Structure 1
Amino acid sequence: MSHPWFAGQTLPRVLAHRGFVPHDSENVAENSVAALAAARAAGTVYLESDCHLTSDGVVVLFHDDDLSRVTGDPRPVADVTSRELSEIMSTRGGLATLSDALDAFPDARFNLDVKAAAAATEVGRLVARHADRVLVTSFSDDRRRAALEAARAKGGDPATSAGSATLARVLLGARTGLRTLARSALDSVDALQVPVRHRGIRIVTPRLIAAAHEAGVEVHVWTVNDPEEMVRLVALGVDGIVSDDAALAVHTLVRGRGTDSLPGSPEHRL
């Protein structure tokens, strides 16, 4: 059976990349409480975010290793206390700790990318009681598995998507026709979350989508902000679109009149 994270929602899924920062918003940073709230208000239940650990052991939703791009402060997230970061983010939409975000958005489903090895175990512990509505991922399969093991040790079993090493095996199997290789890699995941291309190589292909679907695994593509590209990918068979503009993606894929005939149009429910 499919993990509960996938149940009861329309296809295609719209995943709000680091929340949603409306174009007319001032002083709202990605991954902030305000950005998460804006994504929910835009009509998506899927909140994609990133996990780091502060110096006092608090998991925070923050993408970069350091604060420079978002706040102008050059320090690494790991060198800042949660209280310091909360003060810094108070004028940027509010700091979202993982614990608070899970409680503040009880109807949302979280897609959490473990960015730091030090955060993996604590992420797993925190999401355990929310496991039905959490998908854990990471470019590092080691970080992803560490978070999953910690969650399972606490009685939770989150969904998960492939890390880089697992994805490489799936891609090799799909491209060479080695179905057993692709299938064995896909047995351990619920989704593939991939870019359209990587270093000039097309990742999202009919073969990849077919291999994933044959194994009961969804394909989500990041980061797509062009509506025509969104529609093209969904017509190709993609199950989810990760976008910086959740409002545009929802309008295009869920509410837009032009999507009625697509395989993932609103009348197609799980």
Structure 2
Amino acid sequence: MTHPWFTGVATPRVLAHRGLVTPDAARGGVVENSFAAVAAAHSAGAHYVESDCHLTADGVVVLFHDDDLSRVTGDPRKVADVRVRELEELMTGRGGLITLAQALDAFPVTRFNLDVKATAAASIVGRTVAPFGDRVLLTSFSDARRRAALDAAAESGRGVRPATSAGRGTIGRVLAAVASRSDRLVTRALAGIDALQVPERQGRLRIVTPRLIAAAHRHDVEVHVWTVNEPHDMTRLVSMGVDGIVTDRADVALSALT
């Protein structure tokens, strides 16, 4: 059965990578994963927002990509060492901090693709999204973190289980299985997976191939490619059969693909 995260929205899916920060917004000081960035993605018509989850010193899950604040705010401290009130102050003028709970509440029709970046955040992320599982996909480079978040959501006993995309280890097993041309191994590698979210290439290795897309589709698994910002690349990948484009320019993608 198709997870609700995928239903009611036509493919190709446009996933707003860390929200949407247009060049004009960036010149005004707005940064990725801010309240303003999520709001801009919503206003542009994006059904999906891709974001990242870290845990503050006082146990609040916030949408933030890096494990430290230096690139976004100029503060060298780790997210895990800063209380949420301090982070709110640092994000003032940068589009505003948004916590995971605020995102789910303030954007009730938006579907979130959440990358669990910190082990300490996994169980709290799972419990937080549990009532909203119909519009949440959980992922992580770490399959252990991804599974911990999914387990916490299931243990809460609330709502639909979130959808999930494969972590790095699972993706490696899928690629090996596809290369072996063993459908049995592909089936095993894709068990419990709703989507493969991958770059088109990793160094010299081409990851997104017609064979991978066909294998995923035979098992009702979607393929989403990150991070694609040029319209010609978006249309080329969609013509190959990919189901979703993760992009910093959701506004451009929506114009090019819909």
4+ aligned runs moved over 6 Å, structure 1: none
Corresponding residue for residue 208 of structure 2:
204
Distance 1:124 1:167 in 2: 22
Matching of residue 19 in structure 1 with residue 19 in structure 2: yes
Secondary structure of 2:141's match? coil
> What percent of counterpart residues are identical?
66
Tell me the TM-score normalized by structure 1: 0.93
- The DSSP-based 3-state class of the residue aligned with 1:194 is strand
Partner of 1:263: none
1:117 aligns with 2:132: no
Q: TM-score, normalised by structure 2?
A: 0.98
Aligned AA for 1:74? P
Residue 7 (structure 1) aligns with: 7
2:42 aligned partner, one-letter code:
R
In the other structure, the counterpart of 2:195 is: 191
Write the mapping of 1:1-270 to structure 2, written as runs, cut at 5 A: 1-25=1-25, 26-155=28-157, 156=159, 157-254=161-258
**Letter in structure 1 aligned against 2:10:** T
Question: Structure 1 counterpart of 2:88, which letter?
Answer: S
User: What is the alpha-carbon distance in structure 1 between the residues aligned to residue 71 and residue 48 of structure 2?
Assistant: 25
Deviations 1:171-198 (A, max 9, x none): 0111120111111111211000000001
Aligned to 1:47, the other structure's residue is in SS state strand
Alignment coverage as a number of residue pairs? 254
Contact 1:192 1:220 in 2 (8 A): yes
The CA deviation string for residues 190-242 of structure 1, in whole angstroms up to 9 with x for no partner, is 00000000122000001100110000000000000010010010000000000
SS of the aligned residue for 2:24 comes to coil
Contact in 2 for aligned 1:183/1:211 (Cα 8 Å): no
Separation in 1 of the partners of 2:10 and 2:56? 36
Aligned residue identity for 1:204:
V
Letter of the 1:137 partner, please give it. T
RMSD in angstroms over aligned alpha carbons? 0.6
State the alpha-carbon separation in 2 of the partners of residues 223 and 114 from structure 1: 18
SS at match of 1:24: helix
Residue segments in structure 2 that go unaligned for 5+ positions in a row = none
Measured after TM superposition, the shift of residue 150 of structure 1 is: 0.2
- Matched to 1:232, the amino acid is R
